[in-house]
Structure 1
Amino acid sequence: MTARRKRSLPYETVKNSIHQRIAEGGWQPGVRLPSERELVQQFGCARMTVHRALRELEAEGLIERRQGSGSYVAELHPISNLLQVRDIHDEIAERGHLHTTRVCGVTRERSTAEVAAAMRLRKGTAVFRCQLVHLENGVPIQFEDRHVNPALAPDLLRQDFTQVTPSHVLFEHAPLTEAEQVIEAVLATPAQARLLDVPAGSALLMVSRRTVSQGQVASIARLYHPGSRYRLIGQFSVPGQEGKLAS
Structure 2
Amino acid sequence: MDLGTTVAEGASDLSLHQRILGDIEERILSGEWQPGFRIPFEVDLAEHYKCSRMTVNKALTQLAKTGLIERRRKSGSYVTQPRAQSAVLEIRDIKLEVQSLGLTYEYKLIEKVKRRSNADDRSRLSLETAAPVLEVLCTHFAANRPFCVEERLINLSAVPDAAEESFEDVAPGPWLLNRVPWSAAEHTIRAVSADAQIATALGIAAGTACLVVERRTWSNGAYVTHVRLIYPGDRHALVANFTPSQPK
TM-score, normalising length: structure 1: 0.65
- Give secondary structure in 2 for the equivalent of 1:155: helix
Query: Which residue is equivalent to 1:161?
Result: 167
Are residue 111 (structure 1) and residue 117 (structure 2) matched?
yes
Query: Which residue is equivalent to 2:22?
Result: 23
- Give secondary structure in 1 for the equivalent of 2:156: coil
Are residue 187 (structure 1) and residue 189 (structure 2) matched?
no
Query: Which residue is equivalent to 2:183?
Result: 177
CA distance in 1, matches of 2:48, 2:199: 60
- Give secondary structure in 1 for the equivalent of 2:236: coil
Q: Please list every run of 5 or more consecutive structure 1 residues that lacks an aligned counterpart in the other structure.
A: 1-13, 63-81
CA RMSD of aligned residues (A): 4.0
* 1:122 CA drift (Å): 3.7
CA distance in 1, matches of 2:169, 2:91: 20
CA distance in 2, matches of 1:22, 1:44: 14
CA distance in 1, matches of 2:23, 2:180: 13
How is 1:1-247 mapped onto 2 (pairs within 5 angstroms)?
Answer: 17=16, 20-21=19-20, 23=22, 43=47, 61=68, 83-237=89-243
Give identity over the alignment, percent: 26
Contact 1:106 1:129 in 2 (8 A): yes
* 1:151 CA drift (Å): 2.6
CA distance in 1, matches of 2:17, 2:109: 41
* 1:220 CA drift (Å): 0.8
* 1:118 CA drift (Å): 2.3
Contact 2:189 2:213 in 1 (8 A): yes
Q: 1:99 to 1:228 in 2, by over 3 A?
A: same
TM-score, normalising length: structure 2: 0.65
Contact 2:98 2:105 in 1 (8 A): yes
Contact 1:153 1:169 in 2 (8 A): no
* Residue-by-residue CA offset, 1:116-152 (whole Å, 9 max, x unaligned): 0221214532101110011111110111111011133
* Residue-by-residue CA offset, 1:162-183 (whole Å, 9 max, x unaligned): 4322111221222121111111
Instruction: Output the amino acid matched with 2:154.
Output: V
CA distance in 2, matches of 1:44, 1:194: 55
CA distance in 1, matches of 2:218, 2:242: 20
Contact 1:107 1:157 in 2 (8 A): no
Q: 1:228 to 1:162 in 2, by over 3 A?
A: farther
Query: Which residue is equivalent to 1:66?
Result: none
* 1:83 CA drift (Å): 3.1
- Give secondary structure in 2 for the equivalent of 1:117: helix
Q: How many residue pairs end up in the alignment?
A: 198
CA distance in 2, matches of 1:215, 1:137: 39
Q: Please list every run of 5 or more consecutive structure 2 residues that lacks an aligned counterpart in the other structure.
A: 1-5, 7-14, 34-39, 70-87
CA distance in 2, matches of 1:187, 1:96: 28
The structure whose RCO (Cα within 8 Å, separation 6+) is larger is 2
Instruction: Output the amino acid matched with 2:201.
Output: L
CA distance in 1, matches of 2:194, 2:22: 38
Instruction: Output the amino acid matched with 1:43.
Output: E
Instruction: Output the amino acid matched with 2:222.
Output: Q
